Amino acid sequence: MKIKSFVLAISLAALLSGPVYAANDKKLFIYTWDTYKNDDLFKKFEDETGIDVVTDIYSSNDALIAKLKAGGAYDVVMPSGPYIPLLASETLLQPLPADLQAYGEKMAATVKNPGFDPKNEHSLPLFWGTTGIAVNTKLVKEDITSWDQFFTRPDGEKKSLGVLDDTGTVMDVAALALGKPYCEDSADTYKAIQALLIKQKPFVKVYGATGYVERMAANDIAMQMAWSGDAYLARQQNKDIKYVYPKEGVEVWIDNLAIPSTSKNPENAKKFIEFVLKPENLAAYAEFSGYVPSMDAAKDLMPAEIKDAPEFNVPAGLNAPVSTTCAPKVVKNQQKIWERVLK
Amino acid sequence: MAAAASPAKIPGVATTAYLALAFLYIPILIVIIFSFNANSLITVWKGFTTDWYLKAFQNDDLRRATINSLVVAVSATVLSTLIALMAAIGMRGKVPRAVGQSSSFLMTLPLLIPEIVIAIATMSFFFIIGLDLGLGNVLIAHTVFCIPFAYSPIRARIETLQPSLFEAAADLYATPWQSFRRVTLPLMLPGITSGAMLAFITSLDDFIITQMVAPPGAMTLPVYIYSMVRKGITPEINAVSSILLVISIILVVSSYVINQRKAV
Amino acid sequence: MRDVKNPALWLLSPFLAVMGVFFAAPLLLVVGYSFMTQHYPGGVEFPLTLDAYIKIFYDTDFDGNRVFDASFLMICWKSLQLAGICTILCLLAGFPMAYFMATRPAHQRNLWMMLVTIPFWTNLLIRTYSWMLILRTDGLVNNALIDAGLIKEPLELLYNDFAVGVGLLYSYLPFMVLPIYANLERMDWRLIEAASDLYATRWQTLRKVTLPLTMPGIIAGCILVFIPSIGSFLAPQLLGGGQQMMIGNKIENLFGQAGDWPFGSAASVALMAIVMIGLMIMSRRGGLKELV
């Protein structure tokens, strides 16, 4: 009994003396992806402004939505493009002040006035990237130039492909491979996409994004549907990895900075956004995450071997539509396809 | 009481046990060994270094998450084991049928329901009643789902206690409290310890419920790790896990040593 | 006996209070959600409807026709199968282990208990990742076997059912071992000696004496393994290559990407119902009242 009371006392003491995160002038709560948690950069911000940064990470945009809906009082979040209209319609994001919106003018052409938030009312682009194929040249001898080679494999081949499990991404890529537009609400398109994915399944080793950078680097996967920044990170670890832009096109997606409506420190959030969007900071941030910074001024500051890396440069003239929000009915059908594939 | 006597010895049991033990420990050894890997991706071995331990200490959020995990796990274990113990003893006594049956039902319910459902339900509920105790939210949620895990071994154990023991104690003029402390509790100890262990493990590993329920800054280690979706596990995480492991071992060994000294 | 306020009820009250407020109430909320209308991307709204429950059995196909759709039920069935296999594996490995622990000399037993539980104080995700290191093509097992000259080509040990089995066994073993151990430790071992005195073989003793006496522990262990493992998705996802959707993934998906809380709630209610019916059937056959 004595031990129990001893332990009980200690834990209660620890709890009571533990960190209490009340609204505080000098605090900033960031909620972001693990690959965007740049401790060095955030430390620089802390040193410059005296604001204490607390970072929590989420594993998916859906987790972000759920958290915000439940009243999670974060100050800065970094949602992907298609989710901005969703978050805005749920009044989960604050409108950005005019001087922040002005940054929209400085954005690179690819991310300027994006379809999901043309006037930057709720978001500012932070990074953009593409979804292509990361090929392990040691395991794959043929020259990969088309999505067709990714979706159609010769009979009898062993499982060696990696596919992401983000339904939106997979559907966009499948649409590209079939020459269709994103989010097309047509029974024929759905059936075609479903057939394509089911045909591919026997050759897929892993469906998933968890730890896939490491999987690529460890030679587990021959061809992986990959986000460009992650392919870049994998290539740093394993020189045999090559990022390929298939001729049918690649999906372009944009991750953005936004301020939730539940934020308790919107002033600090504004300071953080202004800090991050300074060219030299954005350049450092992009180098850290492996993605392309939203402003050309930042990209110019990056070292040549990164700036000119294949993952950072989409071939001119390639079909590269920006991903967008699909109507709820389309989303439902996409989920249905996905469920049938994963039977 | 138990003797390693021949009738009780079943062939193959010892081998299975040792094999199982090896099975249990090999991944742990890997975690520890690879925490010294001089390569940021965990797989390929590139050389020995203690840098990751340094980085782990300097990573404020990681450190905070680890401490949160420990604090919540210890507190939830204590609370849930206590509650479960009282419930187990209470169920043995004279309880109205309705109360008894609803208690049994309530006790198995957390096990029946997928964690994601408990997560969403608790999160919505906390939001509606406006509960915002920071880490306290997480503690409450953990205590609730740890109770059935603590309860099960305690119950399995209490079944084996004969009422005659208590009668004997009462005959010898022990008050209910004394008979509890001197008779019941020592006999229950393996059940209580098993229950506490299960509760501890369950709390330490939980991420679905914690992810939904934790307010800003109250993240725990499993949530942190699970959210490292794209990068995967870095040696930094391995370092933290190894440290956590050592701390847990120290905690338990000291309580074990204290227990031995009491030598009931 | 004194007839003051019943002490048993006092002992039960913290449990009932905590569970009643922080568990039963949220659950009722979810049951309530299952009768409401979907609000994409998350949340619920009025009006009340049975749509969510209908979705369990029926679905609209791409052409807009309503068809009977067994996919949800199939997912449930698959998950139940997996949970069953996991339980059997845990029982096969766990019972000998618990038996071994219980037959150690008294002063060693606590040490063994600690030895068995220490691995589980490392995070499950990390241990699962370690299994990937061990089982993958370029992993420890394959490298060791190739170096020793036992095989030429690496074995496919990862991203398949074998790996999932290993992962599940690994996650749930202590939940089987500890209840059985707690039960066994209390067993009167003289009964075993008595059985052997009466010329019973070891196996007969095991079957007719030990196992019946250990039933409460075994049942408790099986429940603690079977039910949570129905909803498990870590092992299938990380070690199995995410090839199959389990009920755990499905419900998480419904509350997440699909943004269909009512269906997610209805699916959970359905799952609970299935498990409860199963438990009731088992208790008819006896042996379950031992748990609670």
pLDDT (0 to 100) of residue A88: 92
CB pairs under 8 A between A and C: 83
pLDDT (0 to 100) of residue B264: 43
The DSSP secondary structure of A56-107, one letter per residue, reads: EE-SSHHHHHHHHHTT---SEE--BTTHHHHHHHTT-BPPPPHHHHGGGGGS
Residues of chain C contacting residue B155, judged by C-beta atoms under 8 Å apart: 220, 291-292
Question: Which is more confidently placed, B138 or C138?
Answer: B138
Q: Which residue of C has its CA nearest to A62?
A: C256
CA angle C249, C28, C74 (to 5 degrees): 30
Sign of the four-CA dihedral A227, A229, A232, A237? negative
Residue B146 reports pLDDT greater than 90: yes
pLDDT (0 to 100) of residue B170: 65
Residue A256 is encoded by which pair of tokens?
Answer: 């953005």
Beta bridge partners of A260: A93
Strand pairing report for A251-257 and A223-227: unpaired
Distance from CA of A298 to the nearest CA of C (A): 33
Give the whole-angstrom CA distance, residue A343 versus residue C75: 8
Q: Is B150 on the interface with C (CB under 8 A)?
A: no
| Domains A2-128+254-312 and A129-252+320-341 agree in fold | yes
Residue A26 reports pLDDT greater than 80: yes
- pLDDT tens, residue by residue, B76-132: 999 999 999 888 888 877 778 888 888 888 888 887 777 878 888 898 888 888 887
Using alpha carbons, list the distances in angstroms from residue A62 to A231, B33, B205, B232: 23, 35, 22, 19
Give the whole-angstrom CA distance, residue A241 versus residue A135: 6
Residues of chain C contacting residue A210, judged by C-beta atoms under 8 Å apart: 237-238
- Give residue B15's pLDDT band: very low, low, confident or very high (50, 70, 90): confident
Please state which CATH number belongs to domain B69-222: 1.10.3720.10
Query: Do A335 and C257 touch, CB atoms closer than 8 A?
Result: yes
pLDDT (0 to 100) of residue B43: 58
Query: Do B256 and C118 touch, CB atoms closer than 8 A?
Result: no
The DSSP secondary structure of A294-334, one letter per residue, reads: S-HHHHHTS-HHHHTSGGG-PPTT---PBP-PPPHHHHHHH
Domain residue spans of chain A: 2-128+254-312, 129-252+320-341
- Give residue A11's pLDDT band: very low, low, confident or very high (50, 70, 90): low
Distance from CA of A222 to the nearest CA of C (A): 12
- Give residue A218's pLDDT band: very low, low, confident or very high (50, 70, 90): confident
pLDDT (0 to 100) of residue B93: 73
Residues of chain A contacting residue B229, judged by C-beta atoms under 8 Å apart: 33-34, 59-60, 209-211
Residue A34 reports pLDDT greater than 70: yes
Count of beta carbons in the 10 Å neighbourhood of residue A185? 12
Query: Do C193 and B7 touch, CB atoms closer than 8 A?
Result: yes
Residues of chain C contacting residue A328, judged by C-beta atoms under 8 Å apart: 40, 259
What is chain A's mean pLDDT, rounded?
88
Residue A91 is encoded by which pair of tokens?
Answer: 């009044």
* ipTM at complex level: 0.80
pLDDT (0 to 100) of residue C290: 43
Which candidate from A2, A15, A29 shows the least CB-CB separation from B135?
Answer: A15
Residue C263 is encoded by which pair of tokens?
Answer: 């269906």
Q: Residue A164's closest CA among C239, C241, C131, C256?
A: C241
pLDDT (0 to 100) of residue C286: 47
Alpha helices in A179-308 (DSSP H): 187-200, 212-217, 228-237, 266-276, 279-289, 296-300, 304-307
Q: At what angle do helices C124-135 and C140-147 cross, to 10 degrees?
A: 30
Residue with tokens 């619920």: C44
Q: Is A339 on the interface with C (CB under 8 A)?
A: yes
Give mean pLDDT, residues B184-205. 84
Query: Do B195 and B151 touch, CB atoms closer than 8 A?
Result: yes
What is chain B's mean pLDDT, rounded?
81
Q: Which residue of A has its CA nearest to B189?
A: A1
Give mean pLDDT, residues A279-297. 92
Residue A82 reports pLDDT greater than 80: yes
CA angle B89, B90, B94 (to 5 degrees): 120
Domains annotated on chain C, with CATH: 70-284 (1.10.3720.10)
Give the whole-angstrom CA distance, residue A16 versus residue C190: 51
Distance from CA of C137 to the nearest CA of B (A): 12
CB pairs under 8 A between B and C: 321
Torsion of the alpha carbons at A98, A99, A100 and A102, rounded to the nearest 10: 90
Distance from CA of B91 to the nearest CA of C (A): 7
Judged by CB atoms closer than 8 Å, whether chains meet at B197 and C206 is answered as no
Give the whole-angstrom CA distance, residue A37 versus residue A121: 25
Residue A207 reports pLDDT greater than 80: yes
pLDDT (0 to 100) of residue A267: 93
Distance from CA of B54 to the nearest CA of C (A): 19
Q: Which of A42-51, A245-254, A287-296, C40-49 has the lowest mean pLDDT?
A: C40-49
Which candidate from B217, B229, B232 shows the least CB-CB separation from A21?
Answer: B217
Question: Which is more confidently placed, C194 or B181?
Answer: C194
Give the whole-angstrom CA distance, residue A311 versus residue A235: 10
Q: Is A167 on the interface with C (CB under 8 A)?
A: yes
Instruction: Identify which of A100-104, B44-48, B155-159 has the greatest average pLDDT.
Output: A100-104
Residues contacting residue C81 through CB under 8 Å, at least 6 positions apart? none
Extract the runs of DSSP E, i.e. beta strands, from chain C: 37-38, 44-45, 58-60, 66-68
- pLDDT tens, residue by residue, A163-191: 998 889 999 999 999 999 999 999 999 99
**Low-confidence spans in chain C with pLDDT less than 50:** 1-4, 286-292
pLDDT (0 to 100) of residue B3: 44
Q: Which fold has domain A129-252+320-341?
A: D-Maltodextrin-Binding Protein; domain 2 (3.40.190)
Q: Is B176 on the interface with C (CB under 8 A)?
A: yes
Residues of chain A contacting residue C159, judged by C-beta atoms under 8 Å apart: 159, 205-206
pLDDT (0 to 100) of residue B104: 83
* Residue A36: HSE in the Cβ half-sphere, 13 Å Cα cutoff: 26
Residue A35 is encoded by which pair of tokens?
Answer: 């690959």
Residue B152 reports pLDDT greater than 90: no
Q: Which fold has domain A2-128+254-312?
A: D-Maltodextrin-Binding Protein; domain 2 (3.40.190)
pLDDT (0 to 100) of residue A188: 92
Which candidate from B12, B147, B197 shows the least CB-CB separation from C178?
Answer: B197
* Residue A18: HSE in the Cβ half-sphere, 13 Å Cα cutoff: 24
Using alpha carbons, list the distances in angstroms from residue C27 to A25, A172, A196, B114, B124: 37, 37, 40, 12, 10
